[in-house]
């Protein structure tokens, strides 16, 4: 009888550990946005070297990318934005232009 109880306890402990590791792995995969960050930095580089034509709109997987120029409170800004479709997570890089 003790052997059966010990076996059940071991199985339950390993099941819980497996479920926790699965959740951690799943979250780390779904929260990985390194490729999008790299794409935004590449777009910024292309903009700074006058290769990128604005406004710029693109899709990368489930992400919507856009680069636009705007004037806010008298300052010209270029906004590099990426929005994840399913979760509506947003990443943004803003460049302020020096006024002459």
Please give the tally of structural domains in the chain.
2
Q: Are residues 53 and 99 in the same domain?
A: yes
Cα–Cα distance, 81 to 28 (Å, whole number)? 22
Q: What is the pLDDT of residues 10-44, one digit of tens each?
A: 999 999 999 999 988 877 776 777 888 898 889 89
Q: Are residues 42 and 87 in the same domain?
A: yes
Q: Are residues 38 and 27 in the same domain?
A: no
Residue 28: the pLDDT is 73
Residue 33: the pLDDT is 78
Place of tokens 């008298």: 74
The 8-class DSSP code of residue 52 comes to S
Enclosing domain of residue 7: 1-32
Residue 12: the pLDDT is 92
Residue 100: the pLDDT is 55
User: Is residue 57 predicted with pLDDT exceeding 90?
Assistant: yes
Q: Are residues 65 and 98 in the same domain?
A: yes
Q: Are residues 41 and 27 in the same domain?
A: no
Q: Are residues 49 and 20 in the same domain?
A: no
The reported pTM is 0.66
Q: What is the pLDDT of residues 61-92, one digit of tens each?
A: 888 999 998 887 878 888 999 998 888 888 88
86 neighbors 73 (Cβ within 8 angstroms): no
User: What are the Cα distances from residue 2, in Å, to 8, 12, 76?
Assistant: 10, 15, 75
pLDDT mean over 38-64: 88
How many other β-carbons are positioned within 10 Å of the β-carbon of residue 77? 14
Confidence grade of residue 98 (pLDDT, cut at 50, 70, 90): low
């Amino acid at each position: 009888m003790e052997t059966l109880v010990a076996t059940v306890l071991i199985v339950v402990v390993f099941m819980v550990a497996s479920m926790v590791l699965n959740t951690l792995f799943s979250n780390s995969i779904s929260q990985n946005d390194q490729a999008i960050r790299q794409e935004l930095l590449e777009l910024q580089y292309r903009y700074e070297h006058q290769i990128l034509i604005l406004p710029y709109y693109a899709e990368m997987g489930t992400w919507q990318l856009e680069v636009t120029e705007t004037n806010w409170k008298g300052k010209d800004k270029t906004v590099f934005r990426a929005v994840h479709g399913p979760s509506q997570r947003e990443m943004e890089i803003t460049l302020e232009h020096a006024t002459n």
